Chain A
Amino acid sequence: MTNLVEISNLNFGYGSRLVLKGINLAVPKGSLVAIMGLSGCGKTTLLRLIGGQLRARDGTVTVAGQRLNDMSQGELYALRRRLGMLFQFGALFTDLSVYDNVAFQMREHTQLPESVIRDLTLMKLNAVGLRGVQSLMPSEMSGGMARRVALARATALDPELILYDEPFAGLDPISLGVIGQLIRRLNDALGATSVLVTHDVQESLKIVDYVYFVSEGVIVAQGTPDQIRASTLPFVHQFIWGEADGPMPFHYPARTMSDDLGMREA
């Protein structure tokens, strides 16, 4: 199986602080791959590098056979027409209705007549179960509904690659299950490839094909959901079972308690 996304020997940082170190990662065509890790571990940075929002200086990022490192803006935009992205809180355009949000890319990028755009938009909304809210504004919907509309918008032009940035953040258990199932279903129905950045272990392991664990900018574990569940690696174990203490300590590094409280030994 060929890879749609390939990252090799990637180092990336902001200023002198290295956020990602020696990352090697592959996403085969048609698969749904999760990148997991604690908040601030660098997984969203990794997603932004795949989407070309950030450029790698050391190492390579290849999407659909094209090296992103030194692409011009025109080339990057041409590639992005083949991508879809779901942002953490949907990022719906607040001045447009649900219908106009989903139709937005079709109007911007195609010459389709409005009647065809209407049919396609309603089909996309139907796929996420929200054809009935087409006339609502984003502010009139719950977080879960907004996320589903954003999913319909992200898949509006049947992208080859769909990127998900924390799609489960802040959702109630029912919405969470619905979004999870939609991500899997849309990936398979569209024949797309998906990269999912999340720290929601239980929901992700139900739907993904492969998992990369990132900790402190390094891939510390990888495998299928079953391999991950059976992993005996201390970090993976702590993450999966949500243990408060372990390789990731409960306490942030600090001076000793007696130093902070001014208690000196006599």
Chain B
Amino acid sequence: MVLEATLRGIRLVGDRTLRIVERIGATVAFLVMTLVHSATSFRRFDLVIREIFFAGVQSLIIILVSGLFVGMVLGLQGHETLQNYGSEQSVGVLVALSLVRELGPVVAALLFASRAGSAITAEIGLMKATEQLSAMEMMAINPIARVVAPRFWGGVISMPLLAMLFSAMGIIGGFLVAVVLIGVDDGAFWSQMQAAVDFRHDIVNGIIKSLVFGVAVSAIATFEGYEAPPTAEGVSGATTRTVVSSSLAILALDLVLTAFMLKGWN
């Protein structure tokens, strides 16, 4: 009896693991197919610009406001902790490094997945459910080239820009709290930040992270939309899967990238 239950449990875990691995494999295969059919997106860049508007520009409000609040909280928490060591003048460094290295790329990507990723999935899923993708195929137009690739590249290009804006707003938020509200010396705030933040190791690494997150979120969002069952439940399930899978992918990739970046790529 116990043995049977244990075997059933192992089978269940194995089955779920296999399905997850299959899903990851299918997403990567879809990503490769998207890259192969990306020529149209670069030949007619207006298609990508339109998607940058929908995915990037329309995500600005949530990114900017969230960045401001995150920076403010970092300013408060940083000042609170640093003053115990008499280093409250270094609060600018703490805010900037936290944002540029980690919170900027990660939180912006999580917000992007919820705001733009889910919208991309829902849009492609509904296009499939209403036979718009089939109509395109019947017109001898490849939907991956015409619908998926521009959305994918729109997301990939938007993501680092949004992450940078998130970090910039966060630093302004930290400044408002630490300097304007609490009274930390503004010269120390900016000069220490300037001295401690390294362009190559902090800013470029942050941009690399957000680019990778952009690829992951855009690939997952387009894949889930394209593979969504053409029903109301199918599209809603795909939208949920986009947010969940993207969030997990962002956090897992962040761990891997951070490990490589701290250790060095060699």
Interface residues of A (CB under 8 A from B): 51, 53, 76-78, 80-81, 83-85, 87-89, 91-94, 104-105, 108-109, 163
Contacts and interface: CB of A to CB of B under 8 A. Distances in A.
B131 interface: yes
A105 B139 contact: yes
Question: Which 4 interchain pairs have the tightest Cβ spacing?
Answer: A91-B131, A80-B140, A91-B135, A77-B140
Contact of B139 (A89, A94, A104): A104
Interface in B125-139: 126-127, 130-132, 134-135, 137-139
A91 B134 contact: yes
Contacts of A76: 140
12 contacts: A77-B140, A80-B137, A80-B140, A84-B138, A85-B135, A85-B138, A87-B135, A89-B130, A89-B131, A94-B127, A94-B132, A109-B141
Interface residues of B, number: 14
Contacts of B126: 94
Contacts, number: 46
A53 B137 contact: yes
A53 B138 contact: yes
Contacts of A105: 139, 141
A81 B134 contact: no
A240 B139 CA distance: 34
Contacts of A88: 131
Nearest to B138: A85
A192 B138 CA distance: 17
Nearest to B146: A108
A80 B130 contact: no
B141 A108 contact: yes
B138 A81 contact: no
Interface in B116-163: 126-127, 130-132, 134-135, 137-142, 146
Which interface residue of A81, A87, A89 has the most chain B CB atoms within 10 A? Answer: A87
B130 A94 contact: yes
* Residue in B134, B140, B141, B146 whose Cβ sees the most chain A Cβ within 10 Å: B140
Contact of A51 (B127, B138, B142): B138
A87 B140 contact: no
Nearest to A107: B44
Given A81-B140, A93-B127, A104-B139, 14 more contacts: A51-B138, A53-B138, A80-B138, A85-B135, A85-B138, A89-B131, A91-B134, A92-B132, A94-B126, A94-B130, A94-B132, A105-B139, A108-B141, A109-B139
